[in-house]
Amino acid sequence: MNPFYEKKNFNIDSTVINDNYRVSTAAIFYDEIFGERFQLETWVFVKGHKGSKIKIHNVPCNEHGIRYCKEFHKKTVAMVKSKLNNHAKN
């Protein structure tokens, strides 16, 4: 079944970097006063931190937008890994 028709959130990609860091990208369904919509979001979750980082993508929630988000997800994972490696060296 197509999640767009079911009007529910769906995962696009999720990567566990280590026990403390995870990157997740999803299409989130919002039913608000001004209408229904999907929003593409990428989150960086850090265990023990209340304030996770979020990127809201300003792209349409269609095949093109999902491809864009998958690429952004890969770049975000690489960036977090690089920062963790640099921090471990210091």
Q: How confident is the model at residue 3 (pLDDT cuts 50, 70, 90)?
A: low
Amino acid at 18: N
For residue range 15-71, list pLDDT tens digits in order: 999 999 999 999 999 988 988 888 999 999 998 887 678 888 888 888 899 999 999
Q: Can you say whether the dihedral through the CA atoms of 6, 53, 12, 23 is positive or negative?
A: negative
Q: What is the pTM of this model?
A: 0.81
pLDDT at 89: 76
Q: Residue 28, class by beta-carbon neighbours within 10 Å (0-12 exposed, 13-18 middle, 19+ buried)?
A: middle
Distance CA 13, CA 29 (A): 16
Distance CA 36, CA 54 (A): 21
Domain containing residue 29: 3-89
In this structure, are residues 68 and 11 in contact, taking their beta carbons and an 8 Å threshold?
no
Instruction: Give me the mean pLDDT over the 1-28 stretch.
Output: 86
* Beta pairing class for 35-46 and 53-56: antiparallel
pLDDT at 75: 95
Structurally, how many domains does the chain consist of?
1
